[in-house]
Every structure is written in structure tokens, then in C-alpha cells.
Amino acid sequence: MAMGAGASFLFPIDLLAAMRKKVSPNDQIGVGLIGCKGMGFSDLSSMLKINEVHIVGLCDVDNEVLQKRAVDLEKAGFKKPELYKDYRKLLENKDIDVVIIGTPDHWHCLQLSDSLNAGKDVYCEKPLANSIEECNLMLHSVKNSDRMVQIGQWQRSQPHFVDAINFVHSGKLGQIRLAKAWAYQGWMKSIPVLPDTLPPAGVDYDMWLGPAPKRPFNANRFHFNFRWYWDYAGGLMTDWGVHLMDYALYGMKANTPKSVMALGGKFAYPDDAAETPDTLQTVYEYDDFSILWEHATGIDGGNYGRNHGISFIGNNGTLVLDRNGWEVIAEKDRMESLPLQQNQGSGLDKHTINFIEAVKARDASLLKAPLQIGYDAAMVCHMGNVAFKTGNRIYWDQDTGQFSDAQANSLIKAHYHNGWELPGR
């Protein structure tokens, strides 16, 4: 995903060789990466700062990306990894202990399931999946596995985020009646309409589509911009929402809501090529508080002068948190304000270290973002998109795992195409 203020994962990979110390082959952890262009390669670069980790295989449907990443690693002093176009072949490699899944959202469920069946530990990018049904299947799969699975919600390993939530849980803010999470993304401009074309040379487009509906190739749907098409993802609601709603849920000790309603649309760029809304407000109802999500593309003027963040609004004061740090704004004379408590260090690096520590110890309780964390965040974000698509206030029954609305329930389902089958069916 694209980074906002306070986070940058562009690490010069050629510095890795100088940082690393040799370890015994018996202590090495072999890693395979599926999806090499964006966050997947950032995850790999972070993991390779750990001495025990070595790269065994790369997989990507785009040969240009695959070759470039292989060259990048060789320049950094690593042995050339095995290269794959089909992730299933990578999973057959017995030298791979850990798999990083950095593919578009619509691939996560299948690739996680297949990785677990192949006996691999998994670091899977967020959001967890592209539907509520897939989230449920993935939760079931991991609960019935002895593999270590970490979701790429790296803010769970970022100390200042944890410190902020400890303050929220201290009770000093008083009763918290509302939590807000938002992403105002000025970098996200209009997506111009482009004609369909043949896939670029070296791209296995059928493999890229996988279980998504068969469509002609269009550059807008490929690589980074897949995020703005329902076939593959859920827009900013799931792209940034899982990071920020995760912390709203964490602070409020909450998971699925009683009801959800959402309003928005393509207000800024009504005629561009994107499908997902460029403007959205979503309200989640709980017993004695609510959570509000909002996003807007093309502008940075978010709440409290921050283009992204989470706030907890209590009777005594409001805590505001983002990737730069956190502060407390007192409510009149009911408590003391706190100045900005600044971010320290790389949350991503701490997150990959945490994952490898759990892998070595074979102890899932060590994980900062186990699958349940990814599940809770993805569920509420998908619920927000379901409410937007129906245009209704929808009510959730925790016991049945269903909405009160038939149209909403139809949107729970995952629909697989092109001969691919949903795991467990």
C-alpha cells in the first residue's frame, strides 16, 4: 500500500549485505516471496535484515518485475533465488520454510490455504481477504493449523501505537463515546479512463486474474491500481481502513458491530476509471459508543489537521494518534493535555522480527498480529463496503454470522472463476 506521513519502507537493499552476519546453515530460515512488486518486496527487504533469514524463491506473474527483483537481490550480495511464475511450484520447494504473500487481495485466501497445506509459515499482507466468506475460511484454516501466521498490520508492533492504546485503556480519558478513524489521501488522484489492450509481454495475465472474473487486460486494473476495483480489492476502506480501524477496535476492545451504515460515492472524480468510492463515511454502532470511518482521495485536510489517524473522544479529553505520534487534547479543565509523543523506529522491521521470533520459538502467542487481528479488522471494513453497496443500515447477528438484510448477505459470499475453487468447498 502507499505510505502516509511517518512511514517509509524504501530501504536501500544494497546495504543489507553489510548489515548481515553469517549463521550456521542449520539455523537458517528459507523464505519465498509471492508477489514481488510493492509491499511484498518491502516485507522481504525488512525480513532480510534478520541474519537467519535467507531468500530461496521469488514468484511473480510479471517477468519484468521478477527479473528486476532477482537482480536487486544479487546486487545486494544474495545468491540468485529460484524464480517462479506459478506460486504452487514455489510451495513445492522444500527449502522454503516461510512464505510472504504480497499479492492483490483476491489471491490471499487461496495462497494462504495452499501455503498452510504445504507446511509453510506465512506472513500475509493486509487486508486479510476480499470477502467476509474468505475471512471466515482463513480463520478456520489457521485455527486448525500449527503454522505461524502473521498479518502485515505492522502498526501492532509500533511502540508509540501501543503506548497510545495503553493510555486509552488507563481510563484517564473518561468514558469514550466515539472513536474516529480516517484517511484523507492527497496523493491519490483521478484514474484516467484507458482502453483495454493486450497484456504486456512476459505477463501471465490469466494467472494474475486467478479466481477473479475474466476481463480484457486494462492497465488501470494491474499492479498498484487494482485497489480501486471490486473484483480484486475494496478501495481505501480496506486498503488503509484495516490499519486504522484495527486500532480503533483495539482501543475500544471491540470487534464486529451491531449495525453499520455508510454514505459516499465518486464525488470528486465521478467520470474516472475507478470503481470504489473516493469519498466515504461509515458509522459502526456498538452498545455504548460508535466508531466512525471516513476517507477522501485527492485531499489531505483530515481531522485534527492530520491526513490519517485515529481519535478516541472521551468525557475528559481526546487522544489523537497517527504514524507520526500521539497527543492528548484536554476537555477544558478535566485533565492535562499531553504534547506529541513521537514515533520511534520502524514498525515494519519490528513486525518482521516479531514474526521470525515466533517462527523460531514455534509459539503463536508471541505474534503481534495473528490472523485473528487481521480477521477482526478486515471484517468491519468489509461490512462498511457492504453497507455502502446496499445503501441500507444493516444489522449484524454475531451468533449466526449473517446480516438482517438479504442483499447484504448475498455480498458476504466469495465468487471464484476460471476453474479456481474456494478452499474448503
CA distance linking residue 395 with residue 87, whole number of Å = 39
CA distance linking residue 97 with residue 111, whole number of Å = 15
What's residue 424's pLDDT? 81
Q: How many CB atoms lie within 10 A of CB 192?
A: 11
CB contact set of 50 (below 8 Å; sequence gap of 6+): 352, 353, 356
40 and 125 Cβ atoms separated by less than 8 Å: yes
| Per-position DSSP letters for 36-60, written without gaps between them | -SSHHHHHHHHHTTSTTEEEEEEE-
Residues 44, 56, 153: CA angle, nearest 5 degrees: 25
- For the chain, first and last CA: distance in Å? 30
CA distance linking residue 330 with residue 351, whole number of Å = 32
- Give backbone dihedrals phi and psi of 86, rounded to 5 degrees, phi first: -115, 115
What's residue 6's pLDDT? 38
Cell numbers given for 369: 498480529
In the chain the domains, ranked by start, together with CATH numbers, are 13-156+349-373 (3.40.50.720), 159-344+375-410 (3.30.360.10)
User: Prior bond to 12 cis, omega within 30?
Assistant: no
CA distance linking residue 84 with residue 46, whole number of Å = 21
CA 136 remoteness from chain centre: 16
Instruction: Give the residue carrying C-alpha cell 514474526.
Output: 355
* Cα-based torsion angle of the residue sequence 248, 370, 415, 281 in order, rounded to the nearest 10 degrees: 10
CA distance linking residue 260 with residue 395, whole number of Å = 7
Q: Is 399 exposed, middle or buried (0-12, 13-18, 19+ CB in 10 A)?
A: exposed
CA distance linking residue 415 with residue 421, whole number of Å = 9
Q: Is 298 exposed, middle or buried (0-12, 13-18, 19+ CB in 10 A)?
A: middle
138 and 125 Cβ atoms separated by less than 8 Å: no
What's residue 26's pLDDT? 83
What's residue 27's pLDDT? 86
Minimal CA–CA distance to 211: which of 96, 108, 76? Answer: 108
Q: What is the mean pLDDT of each run of 10 residues along the chain (425 residues)?
A: 42 72 87 96 95 97 97 92 98 98 98 98 98 98 97 97 98 98 95 97 98 98 96 97 98 97 98 98 98 97 96 98 97 95 93 98 98 98 98 97 96 97 86
How far lies 243's CA from each of 33, 153, 319, in Å?
22, 6, 17
Eight-state DSSP code of residue 15:
G
CA distance linking residue 251 with residue 260, whole number of Å = 19
Cell numbers given for 396: 449484524
With b for 16 or more beta-carbon neighbours within 10 A and e for fewer, the 213-245 pattern comes to eeeeebebbbeebbbbbebbbbbbbbbbbbbbb
What's residue 425's pLDDT? 60
251 and 320 Cβ atoms separated by less than 8 Å: no
CB contact set of 423 (below 8 Å; sequence gap of 6+): 109, 110, 113, 114, 137, 141
